[in-house]
């Protein structure tokens, strides 16, 4: 009887540890970085310490400092405190059918089309000797066709598109000494 009681007691003691282990919550996830981007993302940063926006890849955030790897030829490592960053944009990839290159190529195609269609009407004549070419209409048709072909060519060029990201909201207190007293600087960024 004694071995049976010991086996029963051991199984009862082991049962709560198994069910409690099944109900445990997983360890907490990593702390949010303060920036809503994943490491390795291509970003464009505007900061108070930069003259022009920086194209870089996001690496990590250490405390209140964001670390980026330069995407240009320099391949340097850049660090900015979160309060220095004024604008942060993430790349959405390269896309076609952009208005700027389409307009440029349509502007190139219009005069080329005009010359190709309108030009021959100056030294040729229609088969009917009682009629003449309408050179104005021919020039407009040539310009229209050239613009359409130029816009089609321009639509094939890609440009990178950017999505603006929200910056973390910040409140900072900066106590400092001036003269013989103590002063407190408070800033809000929302």
What are the structural domains of the chain? 32-95 (2.30.30.520), 99-154 (no CATH)
Task: Report pLDDT for 6.
Answer: 58
Residue 116 structure tokens: 């190709």
Q: Compute the Cα dihedral for 91, 73, 65, 39 and give only its sign.
A: positive
* Position with higher pLDDT, 45 vs 23: 45
Q: How confident is the model at residue 13 (pLDDT cuts 50, 70, 90)?
A: low
Tell me: pLDDT of 33 over 70.
Answer: no
């Amino acid at each position: 009887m004694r071995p049976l009681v010991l086996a029963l007691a051991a199984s009862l003691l082991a049962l709560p540890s198994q069910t409690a282990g099944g109900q445990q919550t997983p360890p907490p996830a990593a702390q949010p970085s303060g920036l809503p981007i994943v490491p390795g993302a291509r970003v464009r940063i505007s900061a108070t310490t930069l003259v022009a926006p920086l194209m870089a890849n996001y690496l990590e955030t250490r405390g209140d400092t964001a670390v980026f790897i330069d995407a240009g030829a320099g391949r340097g490592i850049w660090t900015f405190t979160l309060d220095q960053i004024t604008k942060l944009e993430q790349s959405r990839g390269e896309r076609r059918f952009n208005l700027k290159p389409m307009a440029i190529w349509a502007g190139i195609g219009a005069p080329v089309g005009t010359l190709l269609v309108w030009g021959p009407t100056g030294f040729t004549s229609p088969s009917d000797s009682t009629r003449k070419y309408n050179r104005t209409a021919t020039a407009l048709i040539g310009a229209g066709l050239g613009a359409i072909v130029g816009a089609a060519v321009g639509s094939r060029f890609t440009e990178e598109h950017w999505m603006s990201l929200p910056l973390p909201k910040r409140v900072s207190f900066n106590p400092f000494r001036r003269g013989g007293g103590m002063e407190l600087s408070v800033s809000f960024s929302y």
